[in-house]
Amino acid sequence: MCTDAGCSHASLPRVNIKQTHGDAVTVEKSNDKLVLCPQCDWMVKLPEIKQGDKAVCPRCHTTLSALWVEPVLQPVSCAISALIMLVFANLFPFINMQVSGIYNQIKLMAIPEAMVSDDYASLATLFIIFVQLIPAFCMVAIILLCLKVRLPYRLKVIMGRVIYLAKVWCMVEIFLVGVLVSFVKLMAYGDIGIGPSFVPYCLFCLLQVRAFQCLDRYWLWQSIQSAPELHQTPRLGMSGMEQGLRSCPCCMAILPMDEHQCPRCHTTGYARRRNSLQWTLALLVTSIMLYIPANILPIMVTEVLGNPMASNIISGVIILWEDGSYPVSLVIFIASIMVPTLKIMAIGWLCYDASGAGKTGNKLDREKMHYLYEVVEFVGRWSMIDVFVIGVLSALVRMGRLMSIYPDVGAVLFAMVVILTMIAAMMFDPRLLWDRKKMINQ
């Protein structure tokens, strides 16, 4: 279950599922409304959920299913409105700047165009994918699936899979925060204004987040096709692995452990992600190797009256602090320095704990470790703020020899660090933390 802002169900009241422990194992004759928690592998039965309620796992408190008021109308209306706002946001000028009588305004697509002209097509590609293409595709998929438009089953499956794989990469709200940070940075140099498309883009940001929030994974896949029949008797109050069962990582169907391809969504999976710790550690080490030069090398070059001045992340934070922009300086410091550093340390700690290396030490609280994992998943992508700030500045500040800003190699390396740590968190299997609890108890 995703823990980012786009799929949080925190605003819904919770319906508790009764926990079954130890000897009080319950045998279920039907697999109707049975769910294996994707985060801790606990077998639970969903209660009857009223509109406006959500059901959470009794062991790790992960949201398993939620029933919003108007569960079809809300995501569809939000998705349609979001697409309309995205069209308006791309048609008109986005922001403008005036310095010493020189005026410049840009549209959204001018940002990747400026990056390409500066030979940073990689950053331009990231902007187009994360801020435009993925959110737009997900909104179209939500509309088609929720309205049950007649489509080939294979196409429905592909769209359902892409929604839950891609929504973590929707960075619309992060880009918007980056734009606001850019405003504060540029206020010292000239007058900053918003164009006609700025408000539609803000609405697009809010609406696409709401569309994701109102879309329940369990309900969506049940509407595409019922879960495959399970030819064995599931038991509540036990992990799936203990009874030879696994959960499909995409559609949440309960499957035999030896059935590697889900018959409903055709996703290949295993009881635990194969080589999860090895992949996580490999990506983590790679991100550490890139993180050092990303902080040392310049991420941006500011040219004033023909004199170029390169700056890295740390120097940018210092300059903002000295200029009195304390809130913005703290935002950049937290998002670009603290978050990546702490995330790398947290992922390393999770891998250490899940590997069983600390078996002879103090017993770690599983719930706290699981909470740490959820925090790591949520905060990681917010480090892209600095990359988006550079994109906005490089597109807007094009005043010839008077003043111009260009991206530099450090921005590419830093973007790679953020992406690699995000993938590392995705490769880590949180169920290993709960398997570790059983190892300690034994």
**Can you tell me the distance from the alpha carbon of 6 to that of 208, in angstroms, rounded to the nearest whole number?**
8
Which of 350 and 309 is assigned the larger pLDDT?
A: 350
The answer to whether 312 and 295 are in contact (CB under 8 A) is yes
Structure letter (DSSP) for residue 133: I
Report CA-CA distances (Å) from 356 to 103, 329, 348, 352, 425: 61, 40, 13, 7, 18
**Can you tell me the distance from the alpha carbon of 402 to that of 102, in angstroms, rounded to the nearest whole number?**
9
CA dihedral over 25, 29, 31, 33, signed as positive or negative: negative
**357 burial class (0-12, 13-18, 19+ CB within 10 angstroms)?**
exposed
Q: How many helices (H) and strands (E) does the chain have?
A: 16, 15
Which of 364 and 192 is assigned the larger pLDDT?
A: 192
Residue 15 has a pLDDT of: 55
**Can you tell me the distance from the alpha carbon of 127 to that of 112, in angstroms, rounded to the nearest whole number?**
7
Residue 438 has a pLDDT of: 53
Confidence of residue 13 (pLDDT cuts 50, 70, 90): low
Provide the whole-model pTM: 0.85
Cβ neighbours of 376 (radius 10 Å) = 25
Would the pLDDT of 210 be above 50?
Answer: yes
**Can you tell me the distance from the alpha carbon of 256 to that of 259, in angstroms, rounded to the nearest whole number?**
5
Give me the count of residues in the chain: 442
Q: Report the SS3 class of residue 230.
A: coil
Q: How large a percentage of the chain has pLDDT more than 90?
A: 31
Would the pLDDT of 18 be above 60?
Answer: no
The first and second tokens of residue 231, run together, are: 């030819």
Q: What is the mean pLDDT of the chain?
A: 83
Which neighbouring-strand residues pair with 268? 261
Residue 26 has a pLDDT of: 53
Residue 64 sits at φ, ψ, to 5 deg, of -95, -35
The first and second tokens of residue 168, run together, are: 């973590």
